[in-house]
Amino acid sequence: MNTPVEGFSKLSKAEKIDWIAKHYTKDAEASKQILEQYWNADAKVQKLHDEFIENTISNYYLPFAVAPNFLINDTLYAIPMAIEESSVVAAASKAAKFWLNKGGFKTQILGTEKVGQVHFIYKGNTQTLQTFFEELEPKLRKSVSDITENMEKRGGGIKKIELRDLNEQMEGYYQLHCTFETLDAMGANFINSCLEQFAKTLKEKAQSYAAFSEDEKNLEVVMSILSNYVPNCLVKAEVSCPVAQLDKNPVAAEEFANKFVQAITIAKMEPYRAVTHNKGIMNGVDAVVLATGNDFRAVEAGVHAYAAKDGRYTSLTHAAIEDDTFTFWIEIPLALGTVGGLTSLHPLVKLALEILQNPSAKELMEIVAVAGLAQNFAAIRSLVTTGIQKGHMKMHLLNMLNQMGASESEKQQLVQYFKDHIVTHASVKEALEKIQSQ
């Protein structure tokens, strides 16, 4: 039976590997070889990766790809994507090419407001607290002047500090609800540093506020933290064209447009469909967020909360036909950065941003939203025409052949064969065995 380990973080990398391989794998030497196989040959690069997180023993690789031909606001982009799922990059590229000669993608930044909160308990007179807050607010700003100085020089900083009374939800519960502009930084460390100082100042000033009773002076700060829900850090991306341009056959184009709008309507009404619908959008969003060194978990949490903002989980995308014009769009909250964090450390992140022509945070928001919209267009187009599996399984073919141990020659033959045949695990296995038997 395995036993707990003391001081694991203090072990050397080699010692960590020895311990995990010995205690948690069947073949310690084989496991060590796999871990070492994925080390970077450049010792400096490997050390950089080792220091990103704690207890590192190897690197976990994801494919780094590019989806070309994205025309966004009349600028042509090739979009870097880091993802393991088959057909995502192909689908995005196909959608980009489809809209390339139809005006491309148009985007609009609707807001860039980030949010953070100080949560505290105060059991006293609400009006007295409100009066205290009105005197406190300028002192809060002054208390973080050394933190905000550089951000303010660039045009950012604290936008608003509000006192929110949430007694109806929990007795004595109040917030300092704060909004920020962090420009090209995602801003998590900046926001959290401000909030923690706000909390400290709140407690200190409450202790000396004459109008408070002794109990009121001892208000309790529960926590101070930014929020990943950013409904006012919002971007819109859109494509539009005459219905007739959707297909060479005007009748087929009209049928396609109507079915497409119906599919979006279903995703708006039906949560079971909406979740899978939005997951497809996030295939595109997350792949670009990850490739550019941003926090895809924060983006996911904020996006899904936004999808349920009206009390029911629904589609992030919208479609309409008006005056024989088909329009498809998305509005999505994205808190992203192009400076700080991994953007200046990870070599591939730096390269990804260079490929994107070193965008500002606003421009990256637009690019990421377009990737999500393109992914959704490709998915819905497949669903209402050929079905999702035809294209997906052909892209998955090489994964299956690799799992079955096919040689390079066998792969070439079977890729050609399955251009005209249905791909399933059984059909691939049968075709491979037939080749091998010959």
Q: Which residues are annotated as catalytic?
A: 85, 279, 295, 392
Length of the chain, in residues = 438
Tell me how far CA of residue 99 lies from CA of 6, 70, 130, 286, in angstroms. 58, 8, 54, 21
CA angle 301, 302, 308 (to 5 degrees): 95
Q: Tell me, what DSSP letter sits at residue 243?
A: G
Of 272, 276, 304, 308, nearest to 380 by C-alpha is 276
| Number of other residues whose CB lies within 10 A of the CB of residue 112 | 22
Residue 61 DSSP class: -
Dihedral sign computed on CA atoms, order 125, 143, 152, 112: negative
Q: What are the structure tokens assigned to 301, written together? A: 């949490």
- The per-residue DSSP string of 282-342 comes to HHHHHHHHHHTT--HHHHHHHHHHHHTTTSS---SEEEEEETTEEEEEEEEE----SBSGG
C-beta of residue 372 within 8 angstroms of C-beta of residue 285: yes
Q: Look at phi and psi of residue 69 and say left if phi exceeds 0, alpha if psi is from -120 to 50, else beta.
A: left
Sequence letter at residue 319: A
Decide if 99 contacts 107 (C-beta within 8 A): no
Contact between 370 and 237 (Cβ < 8 Å) = yes
Give the integer Cα–Cα distance in Å for 244 and 254: 7
